[in-house]
Amino acid sequence: MMDLPRIQRFGDRDLLVEWRSVISDHTHSCILGLVEFLNSCDDKGIIEVTSTYCSVAIYLSKMSNIELVGSLVKDWLAKEVNFVDSLPKRIIEIPVCYDQVFGLDLEEMSQALELPISEIIRRHTAPFYRVYFLGFLPGFPYLGGLDNSLCVSRKITPRILVEKGSVAIGGCQTGIYTFDSPGGWNILGKTPLSIFEVSHDSPALLSAGDFIKFKSISSEEYLNIERNINNGVYKNTAR
Amino acid sequence: MIEVLKPGLYTTLQDGGRYGFRSIGVPLSGFMDRASAQYANYLVGNDINECALEFVGIPPMLRFNVATQIVIAGSSQSILLDGISRNRGEVIMVEKGAILSFSSIKAGWRGYIAFKNGIDSQVSLNSQSQYKGITERLKIEKNDVLSLKLENFNSRVFKKYKYNSNFYNLNIVEVYKGPEFEFLSQEVKRQLLESTFTISPSSYRMATLIEENINGKILDIITAPVQPGTIQLTPSGKLIILMRDAQTSGGYSRVFQCSENAINLLSQKRPKEQIIFKLKSYGI
C-alpha cells in the first residue's frame, strides 16, 4: 500500500502536495497523473501547477476556493492510488558530441573514475534517462538514471561560464545546460540542440515524464545538425 | 517617447508577472512590491498589472518627449518635475520636454513610475518583466528610449484601493510555517523566532539575504517546489528569502513562507535594515 501524500497550505493561497521524500518511479507517475488531472480542471482558479521529485505545488488565483481544490486533490488521490504508468511516454534522442573540444572534463574524469573515455561515453549513452521535472534554469531537466559508476564530485572551482548545450555530470546527476551559466559540473560534451528556445510556442524541448537518450555524434555531425537548425530544417526524433 | 538620462542603480520594466511557465522552470518575476506598483497603476487609470518602471536604491532621471500622465509610488524621496516638487500618489500631468528627477531615497527601497497606458516593450512568454534569457533587455540603460502604449486595453474600474503608503516602516515580517519547519530543532526554531535579522547589501530581485547565521544542524532536502516568499535555510546556517525572480524549485530546507504583504514589505527594506519574523497561522 502506497503512503498517501500530505496536502498542506503553501503561503496565502497556494497548496503543496508532498509524498515521502524518496525518489521513485511510482511516486513520479502519481505526480504526473495529479498534474495532468489539475491541468484539466477548468474554473477552479488554478493558475499553474509545478512538480518536483516528490511534490506538486498548486498555485491558485484570488478567486479560487482553497478548501475546494484541496478536497478535489484528496478525492483524486483516494481514487487513483493504484494508478501506475498509464501515461504516454515520449523518448527524445539528444545528439551529443563527446569530442574533447567540447568534453572539457573527460580527461580528468577518466583519471578520477579509472575508466577509459570511450567507456565513460558508452555508459553515459546507454540508459534511458527519466525527466523528473524542469527547474534551476528555464527548461533545465532534472534527470534520473545515471550509471552509478559515473558519479563524480562537482569541480572544486566552478567555471564562470558553462556554454549552453553542455552535457555534464555533478555528483550522481547528469544534465544539459539550457543557457550559458556559471557551473561546477563536469563537462562531457555538447549538444547542438536548443533545449530551451524562448521564441517557440512551447519553449522547453523536454517536459516532465519524457525519457531522453544521449547519442554520440562526431564533430562533423555536430556542425551539420547546427547548420540544419540554423536553416530551420532540423527534425528532432521524438518517438 | 521617454529618454533615459540616468538609469539609476538597477531600473527594470516589470508587470504583474510571468504566469503559466513555472512548470518549465521560468521564474514568475514581476513587481517586487506589488502593492505599491499596483496602486500607482490604479491611480493613473491602468490595469493594475500594467508594465511600469521599477527602480531600486538610486532612482532614474527621465526626459519626456511626449505629454502624458504618471503616478509614482513606493519608496519615499523628493520628486521633481522640471525642478518643481511633486508628491507620491499624485496624478502628475507631464508636458512634452519635461524632465523628471528624484532626490536620493529617504525611506523604503523600491519605487514605481506608472505611465498612462503603460510602457510598450517586448512581450516574452506573456509578460514584459525583464529577466535574463527570457527578454532581450535585462534592465534600463542610459539613453534607452521608452515608448508608451497608445491605448489602455485593460482598463478596469475599481471601487476603492486600500493602500498605506508608509507600510514599510514596520519591521515585522509575517510568515507561515514552511514545509520543513516541524523538522527543525527547538533551538533552531527559537533562533528564527526570537532573533533580529539584518538585510544584506547583496540582496537582489531573486533573493533577500540575511547577514546573521543560524547555528544548529540543518539538513538539505530533495529538490522541491519554492516560490516568491519561501525562506530557505542552508546547511551552513544562511537564510535566503526568495523574492519575485526566484527559481521554481530548490534543495534547501523551507523553514517559512512569507505572506504576500510580507514580500512587499521585504521589497522595501534597504540594506542593513532590521527585521523580525512573526508566525502567522493558516487559521483552518
- DSSP character string of A152-199: BPPPSS-EEEE-TTEEEEEBTEEEE-SS-EEE-SEEEEE-SS-SB-TT
To the question of pTM greater than 0.80 for the whole model, the response is yes
The angle subtended at Cα B29 by Cα B259 and Cα B239, nearest 5°, is: 50
* Boundary of a domain, candidates A48, A79, A110: A79
User: Do the beta carbons of residue A192 and residue A98 sit within 8 Å?
Assistant: no
**From A205, which residue of chain B is nearest by alpha-carbon distance?**
B24
**Are residues A50 and B26, on separate chains, in Cβ contact within 8 Å?**
no
Find chain A residues with C-beta within 8 A of B176's C-beta.
Answer: 9, 11
Question: Which of B20, B26, B225 is closest, CB to CB, to A16?
Answer: B225
Question: What CATH number did the domain enclosing A128 receive?
Answer: 2.40.100.10
Could you please report the per-residue DSSP string of A130-147? EEEEE-SSTT-EEEE---
Q: What is the pLDDT of residue B193?
A: 98
Give the count of Cβ contacts less than 8 A between chain A and B: 105
Inside any domain, residue A239: no
Q: What is the pLDDT of residue B51?
A: 98
Per-residue pLDDT of B82-139, as tens digits, reads 999 999 999 999 999 999 999 999 999 999 999 999 999 999 999 999 999 999 999 9
> For B177-245, what is the HEC assignment?
ECCCHHHCCHHHHHHHHHCCEEECCCCCCCEEEEEEECCCCCCCCCCEECCCCEEEECCCCEEEEECCC
Residues A69 and A41 in one domain: yes
* Contact residues, B window 65-94, toward A, CB-based 8 Å cutoff: none
Inside any domain, residue A221: yes
Question: Which of B124, B248, B260 is closest, CB to CB, to A198?
Answer: B124
User: Does B154 have pLDDT greater than 60?
Assistant: no
Per-residue pLDDT of B201-253, as tens digits, reads 999 999 999 999 999 988 889 999 999 999 999 999 999 999 999 999 999 99
| Partners of residue B86 on adjacent β-strands | B79
Of residues A51 and B166, the one with the higher pLDDT is: A51
Inside any domain, residue A237: no
pLDDT band at residue B159 under the 50/70/90 scheme = low
Q: How far from chain centre, in Å, is Cα B211?
A: 20
Q: CA B225 to CA B212: how far, in whole Å?
A: 25
Residues A100 and A147 in one domain: yes
A70 touches chain B (CB under 8 A): no
Question: What CATH number did the domain enclosing A50 receive?
Answer: 3.30.1360.40
A133 touches chain B (CB under 8 A): yes
Residues A59 and A95 in one domain: no
Compute CA distances B193 → A212, B207, B280, whole Å: 45, 20, 12
Q: How far from chain centre, in Å, is Cα A232?
A: 25
For residue A90, give the C-alpha cell: 515520449
Question: Which of A49, A133, A136 is closest, CB to CB, to B247?
Answer: A136
Q: What is the pLDDT of residue B67?
A: 95
Residues A127 and A70 in one domain: no
Compute CA distances B269 → A100, B130, B143, B235, whole Å: 48, 22, 29, 25
| Strands B172-177 vs B274-279: parallel, antiparallel or unpaired | parallel
**Are residues B249 and A9, on separate chains, in Cβ contact within 8 Å?**
no
Shortest Cα distance, chain B CAs vs residue A133, angstroms: 8
* In chain B, ranges of CATH 2.40.100.10 domains: 170-279
HSE-up (13 A, CA, CB side) for residue A186: 24
Residues A98 and A203 in one domain: yes
- Picking from B19, B22, B23, B177 by the largest number of A CB atoms within 10 A of its own CB, the best residue to mutate is B23
**From A138, which residue of chain B is nearest by alpha-carbon distance?**
B25
- Surface-to-core class of residue A89, CB atoms within 10 Å of its CB (0-12 exposed, 13-18 middle, 19+ buried): exposed
Q: What letter would DSSP give residue A12? A: S
User: Do the beta carbons of residue B105 and residue B168 sit within 8 Å?
Assistant: no
Residues A102 and A73 in one domain: no
Radius of gyration of chain B (CA): 19
Question: Which of B25, B222, B225 is closest, CB to CB, to A139?
Answer: B25
Inside any domain, residue A238: no
Residues A131 and A65 in one domain: no
Inside any domain, residue A1: no
Its domain, for residue A42, covers 6-79
Per-residue pLDDT of B19-43, as tens digits, reads 999 999 999 999 999 999 999 999 9
**Are residues A21 and B221, on separate chains, in Cβ contact within 8 Å?**
yes
Domains of chain A: total: 2
ipTM attached to this prediction: 0.95
Inside any domain, residue A126: yes
Continuous segment of H or E residues that includes residue B45: none
- Surface-to-core class of residue B240, CB atoms within 10 Å of its CB (0-12 exposed, 13-18 middle, 19+ buried): buried
- Cell 529577466 maps to which residue? B131
Pick the CATH number of B170-279 from 1.10.760.10, 3.60.20.10, 2.40.100.10, 3.40.50.1100: 2.40.100.10
Shortest Cα distance, chain B CAs vs residue A47, angstroms: 7
Going residue by residue through chain A, which has 239 residues, state the pLDDT in tens, using 9 for 90 and above.
457 899 999 999 999 999 999 989 889 999 999 999 999 998 899 999 999 999 999 999 998 999 999 999 999 998 865 555 556 679 999 999 999 999 999 999 999 999 999 999 999 999 999 999 999 889 999 999 999 999 999 888 889 999 999 999 999 989 999 999 888 899 999 999 999 999 998 999 999 999 999 999 999 999 999 999 988 888 775 54
Q: What letter would DSSP give residue B25? A: T
The SS3 of residue B104 is coil
Residues A73 and A97 in one domain: no
Residues A220 and A149 in one domain: yes
Inside any domain, residue A15: yes
Inside any domain, residue A159: yes
* Boundary of a domain, candidates A79, A113, A135: A79
HSE-up (13 A, CA, CB side) for residue B141: 3
